[in-house]
A and B are shown apart, each in its own frame.
Chain A
Amino acid sequence: MTLESWLASAIADAEKRGLPELKTMLEALAKSTAVLRQASRS
């Protein structure tokens, strides 16, 4: 799953569950995941 599609579905699910504050936290997590994926490739 690409990071972009993961983030979009996670934000949509959080909003559906009444947790809109998670959006900025999930965006920060996505940046961290990008570093993790880059490190695992190198």
Chain B
Amino acid sequence: MTIEEFGRRLRARETTSAAATDECLARIDADNAKLNAFILVMADEARRQARALDTELSAGRDRGPLHGVPVSIKDLLDVRGTATTAASKVRAGHVAGRDAAAIAHLRQAGVVIVGKTNLHEFAFGTTNEDSAYGPARNPHDPSRSPGGSSGGSAASVASGMALATIGTDTGGSIRIPAAACGIVGLKPTIGEVSTDGVIPLSQTFDHVGPLTQSVADACLVYHALLGDHAAALPAPLPLSGLRIAVLRKYFCDVLDDEVRARFEEAIARFRSAGVHVDEIDIHGAEEISPVYLHIQLADASTYHAATLDSTPDLYTRPVRLRLEMGRYILAEDYVRALQGRERLQRMTDAALAQHDALLLPALPIPAPPIGATTVDVSGKPEPVRAMMLRLTQLFNVTGHPAIAIPMGSTDAGLPCSAQLVGCRMQTDALLRVALACEGIIHP
């Protein structure tokens, strides 16, 4: 059930927040042992919140589209009175004294928080395998990763444990799990949604945003995160006159055969629908990963420096090693990366100058098996981590808003996903494009 559908049924008196919350909690009871999506289930508090919100609505107070909506929260954001574990033993004993700013906005919008979701430890990974609470699993195939780092979040929405969830995205951690689990994931423009009360991975690249079942739902949650909880849905842009640029060189060089097939089919549907489609390159794309790595690693190592020295063995080994690697980055290379970031921002702005949005796949491969370090792409082994980040990290470097939208599936039933990218500080315009294109990308 989407948020839109729930809202219609709620206001028609066909359901209640309490009933929807009970449905989500029943789904958690049934499936969480298999999927390991939640670190904390807040059943009693959720039921209390839902009953109170139903009473409010009966009394004539309607908070807007998220009134009574059951949501889950990535366990990287502070929810008052609960531990923010970041899926790490390093955080043992922590209790948040107040809500993160984004959570405070959601409470004002009337959401019901059903629990806090599993993630890759400290959001530092793309598969959700390294977690003090064990790996979250993909609802489409539990032997596979749900993506990461917001893997438990994506699994919770894809399996009906929540109608929406809040994730964070530093190199793709909203869009990657959304793509792997077959749902929508929105990374707004950098800085739009407050990261106050969110454990940082990279203060240069961190974003907060929603994962939902539809673009319309993503619009509603995005506006609530901004504190605009009564906002109506924007109108989709008309398809005629829409100008889309497909990114080719680098972005389509290494794609799983079935992902490539779904992507080319989507492009053909765009053209058939009368959308103007250009094919372009972004100059300097080979610089994306080095720029990202040198800034993100240095940022992460700085935040974790004290606990790396005092309690190094409390980190999972792979995450500790990546954090330690950042301590060797030279200041001169960090500055080179900052300069590279500016070049990539200019190149991406130039690519968007004549277009409403850029179009590329969100994930070059279907969800990988848990434990895999490489995956076969067109007969060649490729490293999983590099593959997962390859198509998303540019827009963390540049700050452009980007949204992952389901794009069919492989023969084995694993989701594929497309990504639309808009101009900086124009997330609403991107959402209007995405509303228009959702039915083309996923007919």
Chain A residues near B (Cβ < 8 Å): 1, 6, 10, 13-14, 17, 19, 21-22, 25-26, 29, 32-33, 35-37, 39-40
Least distance between B155 CB and chain A CB atoms (Å): 29
Contact across chains for A19 and B321 when beta carbons are under 8 A apart: yes
Top 8 A-B pairs, shortest CB-CB distance: A36-B290, A10-B328, A32-B290, A40-B336, A39-B287, A35-B290, A25-B325, A36-B336
B329: chain A residues within 8 A (beta carbon): 29
Least distance between B253 CB and chain A CB atoms (Å): 16
A1-B330, A10-B328, A32-B293 known; A25-B287 Cβ under 8 A? no
| Cα distance, A32 to B328, chains bound together (Å) | 13
The verdict on B78 contacting chain A, using a C-beta distance below 8 Å, is: no
Least distance between A17 CB and chain B CB atoms (Å): 8
Name the one of A13, A25, A32 contacting B294, with C-beta atoms under 8 angstroms.
A32
The verdict on B291 contacting chain A, using a C-beta distance below 8 Å, is: yes
A36-B291, A39-B290 known; A29-B328 Cβ under 8 A? yes
Would you give 6 A-B contacts (Cβ < 8 Å), ordered by A?
A: A10-B328, A26-B325, A29-B329, A32-B289, A35-B287, A36-B337
A17: chain B residues within 8 A (beta carbon): 324
Considering residues B287, B290, B324, B329, which has the most beta carbons from chain A within 10 angstroms of its beta carbon?
B290
Name the one of B290, B321, B333 contacting A22, with C-beta atoms under 8 angstroms.
B321
Least distance between A41 CB and chain B CB atoms (Å): 9
| Cα distance, A36 to B289, chains bound together (Å) | 9
Q: Is the interface of B mostly helix, strand, loop or mixed?
A: helix
B80: chain A residues within 8 A (beta carbon): none
Name the one of A10, A22, A25, A37 contacting B336, with C-beta atoms under 8 angstroms.
A37
The total of chain B residues at the interface (CB under 8 A) is: 24
Contact across chains for B330 and A25 when beta carbons are under 8 A apart: no
Contact across chains for B339 and A40 when beta carbons are under 8 A apart: yes
* Interface mask (B264-295 → A, CB under 8 Å = 1, otherwise 0): 00000000000000000000101101110110
Least distance between B325 CB and chain A CB atoms (Å): 5
Contact across chains for A33 and B321 when beta carbons are under 8 A apart: no
Contact across chains for B336 and A26 when beta carbons are under 8 A apart: no
Contact across chains for B325 and A22 when beta carbons are under 8 A apart: yes
Considering residues B291, B330, B333, which has the most beta carbons from chain A within 10 angstroms of its beta carbon?
B333
| Cα distance, A14 to B326, chains bound together (Å) | 12
Least distance between A11 CB and chain B CB atoms (Å): 9
Contact across chains for A39 and B284 when beta carbons are under 8 A apart: yes
B333: chain A residues within 8 A (beta carbon): 33, 36-37
A26: chain B residues within 8 A (beta carbon): 325, 328
Contact across chains for A21 and B321 when beta carbons are under 8 A apart: yes
A36-B287, A36-B333, A39-B340 known; A22-B294 Cβ under 8 A? no
Contact across chains for B294 and A33 when beta carbons are under 8 A apart: yes
| Cα distance, A37 to B333, chains bound together (Å) | 7
| Cα distance, A40 to B290, chains bound together (Å) | 11
B340: chain A residues within 8 A (beta carbon): 36, 39-40
